Chains A and B, each alone.
Chain A
């Protein structure tokens, strides 16, 4: 399997704090890679750097063989990187439909797409996440679960090759959480995307991910299949403390 994303020796410091310290890993095409670590481990910072929101202090990032460090976020999106946000960041004054229309229009260089066509495509994605009935409701009126769905629809509408899913579980009850996991699995199969799944909850990643990377205080402390990582003493210590 080809390597779709290569992150090499990436470091990011904020003032005196090293958020990400010399992290290297790669993502293979078509896999679901889990990214784990306790709070403050640097997971979201890492994603922000790959997506372009933060500049990296040192290291290299290659996507599909191209060095993307100098590209602006919207250019990376057009290449095929997309993400959801840990705390949903919808476009509050836009309807659910229009939110997805924006990414359908701009996420990829499309041929022969007018605004109406984008709206049609947006409805497909909304239907996929189950929000078709709420398509004309303003985003700030949706519930948390619906917002997560909207985030996913918006990210999928950009036709990504690599999707970063950032802590989907937080704040959902068990039923909603089940649905969310199932939705991401289906998205992966139906749209043929590679997923990098950031999550706190180990149980989810054990089932869903093929490989897991664990970060702790900005450093990679483990990498491998779920069972291996779950039994890794360093990982257990990072979550539960020593002794």
Chain B
């Protein structure tokens, strides 16, 4: 394995394969500006209005779930309607290890990631054999059945109430500083995911995924290992989503399946993608912040009617803006996006 730094690009060679990445300053100008804004936000909020930090964390985490989900969608050519299944897997793994064995969050992270990867591999055949509505229904079922299992084995999973006493991510002694650091951590996590998936969607794998989505049989005849692409596009995003489950467990200090596994949570994630702008991953960030802040505003202003109002507003938005917020931006500022990937059913 060797890494070569040229004037405008990075070249990585592993055995017989070669990967190239552009690192020209102009190429990075826009992204750096936006990242700067995203980092400035929690810093400003910390000093001005600290209670908003929780909303920012929610926004970052929602986006961080939606981003690998976009990869899973494009890579398998189907929409997974039960991503919260992996949140449950990662979250419970982290919570159980932390409570019963007192493992440090970094260790539980490793285990949660491995659990997520394992669950991802075990469930990946769904992407190979099931298609269309069958896939939708089965992925929809998985988290609901997971929830059933947590109720069956109440002794272990503590049913409705959930597990409590999970170690916090950071502990500086000062509560507001803790939240601030967690906010920065959530932002870092989301940005790392964004970076990874952005690279994947510009890489050789992206072209293969686009070919598979267009015509799977022909892609297979042209040398694309369809099954391998689908399994990897399923298992690795599953692992990334499970890591977010780990984050939730250590952030809240508790983990209950009933919070994350039912459909309400999945709908939030789905709406982040829809309202943010379909398989456009930058739209996921906008969607995440939009949904998180909308929910917060509704809860603070409308009180207990907000659980009803929230889906109503989202329904109106969904119908009024079918191409999502980022889609509206894209229509105004059209640029050449390579390659535009489509999801087939």
Q: Do chains A and B touch in the complex (CB under 8 A)?
A: yes
* Among listed A73-81, A179-187, A229-237, interface-contacting one: A73-81
Chain B: minimal CB distance from A123 (Å): 15
User: Does B104 interact with chain A (Cβ within 8 Å)?
Assistant: no
Distance between Cα atoms of A90 and B19 in the complex (Å): 27
- Interface readout for A40-58 with B: 1 if CB under 8 Å, 0 if not? 0000000000011100000
Residue contact A115 to B221, C-beta cutoff 8 Å: no
Residue contact B214 to A92, C-beta cutoff 8 Å: yes
Residue contact B16 to A102, C-beta cutoff 8 Å: no
User: Does A135 interact with chain B (Cβ within 8 Å)?
Assistant: no
Residue contact B16 to A112, C-beta cutoff 8 Å: yes
User: Does B1 interact with chain A (Cβ within 8 Å)?
Assistant: no
Chain A: minimal CB distance from B98 (Å): 42
Chain B: minimal CB distance from A196 (Å): 15
Nearest CB in chain A to that of B13: its residue: A112
> Which B residues are in CB contact (< 8 Å) with A112?
13, 16-18
Distance between Cα atoms of A93 and B219 in the complex (Å): 13
Residue contact B223 to A85, C-beta cutoff 8 Å: no
The interface size of chain A toward B, counting residues with CB under 8 Å, comes to: 40
Distance between Cα atoms of A51 and B16 in the complex (Å): 26
Chain B: minimal CB distance from A122 (Å): 10
Chain B: minimal CB distance from A130 (Å): 21
Q: Which of A74, A89, A111, A155 contacts B224 (CB 8 A)?
A: A74
> Which A residues are in CB contact (< 8 Å) with B17?
112-113
Nearest CB in chain A to that of B217: its residue: A53
User: Does B194 interact with chain A (Cβ within 8 Å)?
Assistant: no
> Which B residues are in CB contact (< 8 Å) with A90?
215
**CB within 8 Å for A77 and B222 given contacts A91-B215, A94-B214:** yes
Chain B: minimal CB distance from A82 (Å): 8
User: Does A32 interact with chain B (Cβ within 8 Å)?
Assistant: no
User: Does B20 interact with chain A (Cβ within 8 Å)?
Assistant: yes
Considering the complex, which residues of chain A in the window 101-146 have a beta carbon less than 8 Å from any beta carbon of chain B? 101-103, 105-118
> Which A residues are in CB contact (< 8 Å) with B226?
74
Distance between Cα atoms of A152 and B207 in the complex (Å): 19
User: Does B340 interact with chain A (Cβ within 8 Å)?
Assistant: yes
Distance between Cα atoms of A137 and B208 in the complex (Å): 18
Q: Which of A78, A93, A94, A113 contacts B223 (CB 8 A)?
A: A78
Nearest CB in chain B to that of A117: its residue: B18
Residue contact A106 to B217, C-beta cutoff 8 Å: no
The 7 A-B pairs of least Cβ separation, nearest first, read A106-B223, A91-B214, A77-B223, A107-B223, A103-B222, A114-B20, A73-B220
Contact sample, A vs B, 22 pairs, CB 8 Å cutoff: A53-B221, A72-B225, A73-B217, A73-B220, A74-B222, A82-B222, A89-B215, A89-B217, A89-B218, A91-B215, A93-B214, A94-B211, A98-B210, A102-B208, A103-B222, A106-B208, A106-B222, A114-B19, A115-B20, A117-B18, A155-B222, A158-B222
Q: What 5 new A-B contacts, CB under 8 Å, besides A98-B207, A106-B224, A114-B19?
A: A77-B222, A91-B210, A105-B208, A110-B16, A115-B20
